[in-house]
Structure 1
Amino acid sequence: MTGSRRPIVEMPLHVRYHECDGQGIVFNAHYLAYVDMCAFEAEKALFGSHDEFLAHGTDLVVAEANLKFRAPARYDEELVVSQYVNHLGTTSMITDFEIHRGATLLLTATIRYVFIDPATLRPAPPPEAVRKVYAATLEGREG
């Protein structure tokens, strides 16, 4: 999925006991929470904080999510969640996520976000400063 691109962020994650189901593996809904946590870490890496991102007069909402489960995670395991920008459109952005346990790929996710005007909650192109930051993450990726 990611080729030789560098992730925006690699977020370490320690699986907590309450995130596991009766089968002893991470309950599937928690993986989407892990991805969301990583997206906020990426915002911090790119803009300084979520509030600094919002200060640009834009916000993001999830429009579509696709998760592919490859292998299970279990209690007390150390994971790494990584995010990559895949596509930057006029009012939307597609990002890819990977969750690894060591060298083992556990999950891939593709999330389509829509930029919105926080006042109207309607789709709106992001300000040029925000577009430039995200566009820079696409530079040098394999086509």
Structure 2
Amino acid sequence: MHAAFAPGRFEGLEHHFVLRVYFEDTDLSGVVYHANYLRFMERARSDMLALAGVDQRAVHEAGTGAYALREANIRFRAPARLGDELVVVSRLVQLRPAAVDIHQRVMRDVTIVAEAEVEAVFVSPSGRPRRQPAEWMDRFAPLVWKGN
């Protein structure tokens, strides 16, 4: 994704990604199906990386590697429903040579609908953890959240 096409934005160190809940996102009761929160958060993380200047596609196509989730801990707090406008707020909370930890919360106005701690590991094409590109580390360093 080229940063010019990224629909999100940074507000300070937090990345905000707006989305609307469509029929396809819901179960029979009109509530967002739990697995779709992972999709919403993935879109927000990809958008955040693009805005930070990270070209995941180029690195993948060069055979260097890609991110893979090692862990995702999600807490569901309130239902989101068909037609809701949600904002996924993402913070980079820790940067390590081969991984990043990101806190994400899905908001409806001031209500936290869901929140997660995600660990994304940079892996080689064979699936083994490896150092992230140095340029990525340089771009991420100023974005690490230092508050509570």
TM class by shorter chain equals 0.7 to 0.9
State how far apart, in whole Å, the 1-side matches of 2:59 and 2:44 are. Answer: 15
Runs of at least 4 residues of structure 1 off by over 3 A?
Answer: 52-58
The answer for unaligned runs of 5 or more in structure 2 is 1-11
Secondary structure in 2 aligned to 1:28?
Answer: coil
Q: Which residue of 1 aligns with 2:77?
A: 70
State how far apart, in whole Å, the 2-side matches of 1:48 and 1:89 are. Answer: 16
CA-to-partner distance for each residue in 1:20-67, whole Å, 9 max, x for gaps?
A: 112221010000110011111112101264324546934211011110
Select the residue among 112, 136, 143 that pairs with 1:137: 143
Q: Which residue of 2 aligns with 1:16?
A: 22
Shift of 1:136: 1.3
Question: Under a length normalisation based on structure 1, what TM-score does the superposition of the two structures give?
Answer: 0.85
State how far apart, in whole Å, the 2-side matches of 1:20 and 1:107 are. Answer: 15
Q: 1:56 to 1:135 in 2, by over 3 A?
A: farther
CA RMSD of aligned residues (A): 2.1
Q: Which residue of 1 aligns with 2:102?
A: 95
Select the residue among 70, 86, 94 that pairs with 2:93: 86
* Identity %, equivalent residues: 24
- The AA in structure 2 aligned to 1:99 is V
Residues matched between the structures, number: 137
Contact 1:70/1:107, CA 8 A, preserved across alignment: yes
The answer for unaligned runs of 5 or more in structure 1 is none
Secondary structure in 2 aligned to 1:122?
Answer: coil
